[in-house]
Amino acid sequence: MPSLEGLPGDERDWVRRFPHLEQALAHPLDRRRTLKLLALALAGGGLAGCDPGTPDRGFVSAVRAAPGVIPGVPNIYASAHVRDGYAHGILVTHQMGRPTKVEGNPGHPASLGATDIFAQAAIQDFYDPDRASGPLHDGMPAAWQEVTTALQAVRAPVGSVPQAASGLRILTGTVTSPTLGAAIDALLAAHPGAVWHQWDAIGRDAARQGAALAYGRPAMVIPDLRQVDVALAVDSDLLDSAPGHLRHARAFAGRRNPVQGPMNRLYAVEPTPSLTGVAADHRFVAAPAVCDEIVGRLGAAILHNAAPSGGPDWLGAVVADLRAHPGRALIHLGPDHGADAHASVHAMNEALGGRGGAFDVFEPPDYRPAQPTSTLSALMDDMENGRVRALLILDVNPVYQVPRFAAALPRVPLSVALADRPHETAQAARWHVPLAHGFEDWGDARADDGTATILQPQAMPLYGGMSAVTVLRACAGDAARSAREQVRQTWRERLASEADWRAALAAGVVPGTAAPRLDAAIATVLPPVSPAGSAALTLLLRPDPHLWDGREANNPWLQELPRPLSKTVWGNPLLIPPELARSQGLRNGDEVALSVGAHRVALPVWVQLGQASGCVVGLLGSGRRHAGATGDGVGTDLYPLRDAAGPVRIVATGRTVAVACTEHHATLVADAPSDIVRHGTLARFRQDAGFLGKMQDHPVPAAALYRRDPGAPVAWGMSIDLNACIGCNACMTACQAENNVPVVGRDEVLRQREMHWLRIDRIYEGTQSAPDTFFQPMLCMHCEQAPCETVCPVGATTHDSEGLNVMVYNRCVGTKFCSNNCPYKVRRFNYFAFAEQERRPPISRNPDVSVRARGVMEKCTFCVQRIAQARIAADRDGVAEQVVTACQAACPTQAITFGDINDPDAAVSHRKASPLTYVVLPEQGTHPRVTYEGRIRNRNPAIEL
Amino acid sequence: MSGPAAVAPVVAPGETAQSLTERICAVTLREGARPWTPLWWWAALAVSLGLLGMGVIAVGWLFYAGLGIWGIDWPVVWGLDILNYVWWIAIASGGTFISALFFLLGVEWRTALNRLAESLTLCAALCAAIFPILHLGRPWFFYWLFPYPNTMGLWAQFRSPLVWDFFAILTYVLASILFWYFGLLPDLATLRDRAQGQGRRVFYGVLALGFRGSGRQWRHYRAVYAVMAALMAPLVVSVHSIVGMDFAGSAATGWHSTQFPPFFVFGAALSGFAVVLLAILPLRSLLGLHAYVTERHIDVLGRLFLTSSLCVGYAYVMDAFATFYGPDEADRTMFLMRVFGLYAPVYWGTIVLNIVFPQLLWWRSVRLTQPLVWLIGLGVLVGMWLERFQIIVTSLARTQLPSTWGQYTPTLWEWSLLFGTIGLFLTAFLLIVRLMPVVAMAEMRAMLRGPA
């Protein structure tokens, strides 16, 4: 805030900023007048707490409930969660008019009913107490009228600057929203010379350019993993975060359980483990430069129908396998590789004959694909040269992410940042206009396949704010037009009738908006894949899997969500390969100075098994300066290194930093297959389908002493398919949101007191450099012979007739003996009043779930509140209970099946009858109601392990 | 008994009932030539009160801030709280062994020791009894463990070892108090009769409950004392067995072992004899009890001490044997971690202090070298504390699923609580030593008059 410098002591400056103050100071103050003013301030304070009401939204007396709101009965409205422009359809659950939970929209192609962690955590973003509460001008509070005036000033030419070079620039992320695009277009049309720049901090520009290069025009290449038998993922994020990743994960997992149907086969080659790599049947470790080289060799082999020359010894077998499945083979390349490599991969996929099946080419969903002339660097060039008069920054944070932008911004006379919080960019810009949350105003967005969703507001704005569309309209001098009218206008043609409009709102999908197929042919001549220069040490800067580009830094659920592989939370240690750790004598938590050329930061290291030697990985998105009270200063900001050039070096500083991690011991690598995660190969499964069940060393002891009473007609049980689980953590976040699971903070995680009811165990087998990695969701097993129940002296944890192991919080005195006696350690204890200490407002909680007090034990309940709701619905409608637990609902791969195991036709009964089914720790004789389906991998026998 | 010890007298030659009563009353009443309480007592009390104050602050802060101030965590939910409880309750066993068990066996040397030993038991049991309440997440609801009639129709859960434990401790503390106090009655009457000051007469008179030494009173007294001794002797075994079952009754790695009840009784005997030795050796000089606590006593205590140490050693061997004989892989992993892992010094400290050092007591010359015996006793108290650390913490830190492994580091507040209870113990014991007769005069008189 350079404009604030010199403020203290400069009284005239204060007066200039607060004209009312000048008037007040003009009158001499006496005691009487002071008291009057104080009384007025007190009364005003009370009044300000009231909802002002707006002209179009009158007060509604709460004596009569709003239509459709029944106390205790949730309402559900469709909307979408938009990340980097692409929409995932969601259904927002409201309790008495307040959003409390997000579910996936089964009718939406990018959701199919599932959600990712970001959509689940959107509730925390919405209720974030650090969101902007009002507009700021040069860091000082301003009135909304002043904002309107300022936005209109964007239009006015300044002095001698001619209209034609109006110098107006708009900076946004990727825009797929037709309404927002139209509003931008309208502004551009009114201002010849104005330029729209699209930029994402974590961009997929190389992938876009690669597709454009391959097909001669902007194109979206979308795989369809349902029709893929063999896939090769090269440093890919297909199941992690690529557009449509939830759909890809669903399709992939649908072909992973050999009991359910034929398996596909996935090869992965990558420098650092990803969810995609861990899910693969064969995972190969290669530095990024080697990945590019492999793409080159693959191209040479596949495009010219030759055997691959050179390269790793497995390459020949992989190429042969891909070739052996014409039309059903696919190669996918991650976004961190060059456009030429992407183009080459597209050509290979065409050569493998998968078009129309394994993948297809569509019109991109972007409103207007980004042009090479309107990149961020072009904008920064103009800013530095003073050619930008007015800059609208709509919901992006370049000041944090691009140091060069931060330096250039003060040269723009009028900069307006539309931001949800006073973040780095909002503070550096002259104006900060609060952005309405996606739950607060109308909008629309498209999924990766082009399907459009209309975002309807879910609640009255909590803090006040404008949507991007409204801001653009205000710039055009048309502030009166609401976002709703504009969205309606956009879809007037397609949804002509009110009934159609309402149906589209209810469905969360505008029918028939999927992008058309392109018949663009693959280019015949493609640039060769340029080999990346190899260095002694390569630094890969990747988006944080949970904080993404840093936007979620103030989201406590995501900060405390253990990263899938490293299990670290609240901070971003530098991930180093085990070889480097050994050669440099580094251990987890040792601080190093990481330098790229002249830029240098200090941060702790974390040994990441299965990472390419000579390759260190930094996670972007931490070290925020102005994210909010939760996220400020957590971790280290690595963005300054991204644009730096020069050799990468790490030097130990000799200091040690405590790194919070939910795995509270040294990383273990089992040298023999464990009984806990059972796995085997497809070949073995074909010989003997039940081989996993026979892995048991000791027979399950029969519980002869006590009667195992089947009890009620319903018996709840769960089956978790380890073949499907990709470790994405969506279930953990969903559980946290559904069950009011508190966040404990970094210090308490360091004291091993995290509270997650559902955790995902990550288990390594094999070698440190290339371990076999397994994920295993672990939650209360609801044992039929529950060891926790017998040791509780007050009977606070007991069994109900339907097999639930229920926890009576009010009865718990906190002996913690139940946790001692739980072999699975799924019970969590409230050492402090964790829920009370959370910063989230109480209205954001699920009212159906008790908030636990200090000193009581808690654990997974199988979402007993959902069971109760389902029972009410079943009693009312006379049908069988349909219970979907929160974790099950969120799971993109449908790894979790829940239901009545007494019903032989229930899906869960079928799953439990699978020959892959096994019990964890059977020798404990606990008879868990949660069983697992062991993981089968479709290894290629031609590849030596 | 054979050897030279058998001929050593339990009371110094020349002592009569008269001289005994006078000397012991002088220690308590201090109405003769030196009416002041000795300086060592005040100094010890000051230190004890300081420690006690620290403990009071630790408890106050615990109630205000919650269990989170301790270092216990997700896998290791029990730490120093349960550890200290088990340690103290074991210390509390010594008095009962000496006083009740050997009374029933008619061992003559017990008479001079029983008052002090019982007092030690009482103080240690009090210290032990507060931990089960403090370790609760919501300590204000501790009475829910008691099956009392209530409008909620809720009852304690009798399958839980913690309920058995609650009853065992409650019974043990109450019985210890009664046994100690009942045995005091004739001596309190003696003090009442010999005291000069009015205040002292009233004080001891009220406490003596009207004991006048009539034949009828003596008859009742002896009958009740014998019955109570007969109750106390099995009680000391049951309470430690049930403490053992707190662990054995659970399925946790390293705890689920049928040998735990006798193992804990052995451990209790060892620490009980250790603390009696620790107290008796200095008090013998400070209070001038050489005539009544002779070398014979120290020799006998040393032998008992050695015997219990051998029993504990046997239990350690059986623990290791059962681990490797049994089928549980997690048990084996945990045991290897215990012996070679992060907490290995704790394990080896236990072995050395509890088993190796006490072997010195095979030699009579060592048994009669009082400073050495005292040091071995202190070592065993530390060793028993370490043993509980490895049983509780190492087991919980290495359970069945490797993903749930963790560790535990006690915080300042847990240490303050441990030293606070040491302060409570010492304060209570010093008060008893100052205000009550330190030797059971009536029983000693009976023995001195004796059949001889």
User: Which chain B residues in 323-352 lie under 8 Å from chain A, judged by CB atoms?
Assistant: 327-329
CB of A200 closer than 8 Å to CB of A422: no
- How far away is chain A from the Cα of B380, in angstroms, using its nearest Cα? 28
CB of B353 closer than 8 Å to CB of B378: no
- Single-letter amino acid, residue A885: T
Mutate to test the interface with B, among A677, A750, A813 (most CBs of B within 10 A): A813
All residues at 6 or more sequence positions from A845 whose CB lies less than 8 Å from its CB, including other chains: A100, A740, A851
**Cβ-based burial of B99 (10 A; exposed 0-12, middle 13-18, buried ≥19):** buried
Mean pLDDT of A161-185: 83
Residue A60: pLDDT over 70: no
Short-list A181, A107, A189, A496, CA closest to A364: A181
What pLDDT, on the 0 to 100 scale, is given for residue A1?
38
Q: What are phi and psi of A202, to 5 degrees?
A: -110, 90
What pLDDT, on the 0 to 100 scale, is given for residue B295?
86
What pLDDT, on the 0 to 100 scale, is given for residue A710?
58
Q: What are phi and psi of A176, to 5 degrees?
A: -110, -5
Contact A761 B400 (CB under 8 A): no
CB-nearest partner of A824 from B65, B139, B401: B401
All residues at 6 or more sequence positions from B77 whose CB lies less than 8 Å from its CB, including other chains: A816, A819, A820, A829, B396
Q: Residue A798 pairs with which residues in a beta bridge? A: A806
DSSP B142: G
Contact A665 B407 (CB under 8 A): yes
- A748: which chain B residues are within 8 Å (Cβ-Cβ)? 68
CB-nearest partner of B74 from A754, A854, A855: A754
Question: What digits encode the pLDDT tens for the residues A247-302?
Answer: 999 999 999 999 999 999 999 999 999 999 999 999 999 998 899 999 999 998 99
Place of tokens 């106090």: B181
Whether residue B274 lies inside any domain: the answer is yes
CB of A427 closer than 8 Å to CB of A139: yes
Buried-exposed string A64-76: b where 16+ CB fall within 10 A, e elsewhere:
eeeeeeeeeebbe
Contact B401 A676 (CB under 8 A): yes
Mean pLDDT of A437-453: 93
A45 vs B172 pLDDT, higher one: B172
Q: Residue A393 pairs with which residues in a beta bridge? A: A171, A417
Coil, strand or helix at A49? coil
- A830: which chain B residues are within 8 Å (Cβ-Cβ)? 137
Contact A813 B78 (CB under 8 A): no
Alpha helices in A825-912 (DSSP H): 834-837, 864-877, 886-890, 907-912
Regions of chain B where pLDDT drops below 50: 1-6, 452
Coil, strand or helix at A145? helix
Mutate to test the interface with A, among B133, B242, B404 (most CBs of A within 10 A): B404
CB-nearest partner of A787 from B162, B251, B404: B251
B5–A contact, CB cutoff 8 A = no
Structural domain for B222, as ranges: 4-135+158-449
Question: What digits encode the pLDDT tens for the residues A787-829?
Answer: 999 999 999 999 998 889 999 999 999 999 999 999 999 999 9
- A763: which chain B residues are within 8 Å (Cβ-Cβ)? 402-403
- Backbone dihedral region for residue B105 (phi beyond 0: left; psi -120 to 50: alpha; all else: beta): alpha
Short-list B169, B278, B175, B300, CA closest to B230: B175
CA dihedral A724, A85, A884, A264 (to 10 degrees): -20
Mean pLDDT of A68-77: 82
Report the first-to-last Cα separation within chain B, whole angstroms: 20
CB-nearest partner of A814 from B138, B166, B400: B138
Taking the C-alpha atoms of residue B277 and residue B273, their distance in angstroms, rounded to an integer, is 6
CB of A311 closer than 8 Å to CB of A221: no
Q: What tokens were used for A837? A: 């200490």
What pLDDT, on the 0 to 100 scale, is given for residue A6?
42
Q: What angle do CA B440, B446, B449 make, to 5 degrees?
A: 135
Percent of chain A whose pLDDT exceeds 90: 70
Residue A673: pLDDT over 60: yes
Mean pLDDT of A362-379: 88
Residue A23: pLDDT over 90: no
What DSSP assignment string belongs to A899-942? Answer: EETT-TTSHHHHHHTSTTEE-SSGGG----SEEEEPEEE---TT
A304 vs A22 pLDDT, higher one: A304
- What's the mean pLDDT when you consider all of chain A? 88
Residue A164: pLDDT over 60: no
Please name the residue of chain A whose CA is at the shortest distance from the CA of residue B132: A815
Q: Is the ipTM of this complex over 0.95?
A: no
Whether residue B289 lies inside any domain: the answer is yes
- B65: which chain A residues are within 8 Å (Cβ-Cβ)? 832
Contact A820 B327 (CB under 8 A): no
Please state which of the ranges A53-67, A627-641, A736-750 shows the lowest mean pLDDT.
A53-67
- How far away is chain B from the Cα of A935, in angstroms, using its nearest Cα? 18
Residue A56: pLDDT over 60: no
Residue A234: pLDDT over 50: yes
Taking the C-alpha atoms of residue B432 and residue B426, their distance in angstroms, rounded to an integer, is 10
Q: Residue A721 pairs with which residues in a beta bridge? A: A933
Place of tokens 């104050």: B53
Please name the residue of chain B whose CA is at the shortest distance from the CA of residue A761: B403
What pLDDT, on the 0 to 100 scale, is given for residue B265?
92
Contact B138 A763 (CB under 8 A): no
Whether residue B295 lies inside any domain: the answer is yes
- B145: which chain A residues are within 8 Å (Cβ-Cβ)? 793-794, 813
Q: How confident is the model at residue A529 (pLDDT cuts 50, 70, 90)?
A: confident
What pLDDT, on the 0 to 100 scale, is given for residue B327?
79
Whether residue B305 lies inside any domain: the answer is yes
CB-nearest partner of A792 from B65, B137, B160: B160
Whether residue B386 lies inside any domain: the answer is yes
Whether residue B148 lies inside any domain: the answer is no
- Structural domains of chain A, with CATH: 75-126 (2.20.25.90), 136-202+368-507 (3.40.50.740), 220-361 (3.40.228.10), 538-656 (2.40.40.20), 669-937 (3.30.70.20)
All residues at 6 or more sequence positions from A177 whose CB lies less than 8 Å from its CB, including other chains: A82, A85, A367, A443, A444, A445, A446, A469
User: Which chain B residues in 155-214 lie under 8 Å from chain A, judged by CB atoms?
Assistant: 155-157, 159-163, 166
Contact A751 B65 (CB under 8 A): no
Whether residue B142 lies inside any domain: the answer is no
CB-nearest partner of A794 from B156, B255, B329: B156
- Single-letter amino acid, residue B205: G
Interface contacts A/B by beta carbons within 8 Å: 159
- B155: which chain A residues are within 8 Å (Cβ-Cβ)? 795
> Into how many domains does chain B fold?
1
All residues at 6 or more sequence positions from A18 whose CB lies less than 8 Å from its CB, including other chains: none
CB-nearest partner of A815 from B65, B74, B162: B162
Please name the residue of chain B whose CA is at the shortest distance from the CA of residue A760: B403
Q: How many CB atoms lie within 10 A of CB A581?
A: 19
Q: How confident is the model at residue A477 (pLDDT cuts 50, 70, 90)?
A: confident
Q: How confident is the model at residue A351 (pLDDT cuts 50, 70, 90)?
A: very high
Please name the residue of chain B whose CA is at the shortest distance from the CA of residue A778: B403
Percent of chain A whose pLDDT exceeds 70: 91
Mean pLDDT of A386-411: 93
Which of the listed ranges A61-70, A386-395, A602-611, B24-33 does the model predict with the highest average pLDDT? A602-611
Residue A22: pLDDT over 60: no
Q: How confident is the model at residue A669 (pLDDT cuts 50, 70, 90)?
A: confident
Whether residue B150 lies inside any domain: the answer is no
Taking the C-alpha atoms of residue A121 and residue B139, their distance in angstroms, rounded to an integer, is 35
Strand (E) or helix (H) holding A765: strand A759-766
- Measured CA to CA in angstroms, residue A376 lies from A165, A208, A373, A381, B413 at distances of 19, 16, 9, 9, 55
Taking the C-alpha atoms of residue A268 and residue A280, their distance in angstroms, rounded to an integer, is 6
What pLDDT, on the 0 to 100 scale, is given for residue A705?
59
CB of A880 closer than 8 Å to CB of A874: yes
What pLDDT, on the 0 to 100 scale, is given for residue A34?
77
Q: How confident is the model at residue A698 (pLDDT cuts 50, 70, 90)?
A: very low
CB-nearest partner of A794 from B77, B145, B399: B145
Please name the residue of chain B whose CA is at the shortest distance from the CA of residue A669: B402
Measured N-to-C along each axis, helices A483-490 and A468-475 cross at an angle, to the nearest 10 degrees, of 100
Strand (E) or helix (H) holding A44: helix A31-48
Contact B407 A664 (CB under 8 A): yes
CB-nearest partner of A832 from B68, B161, B255: B68
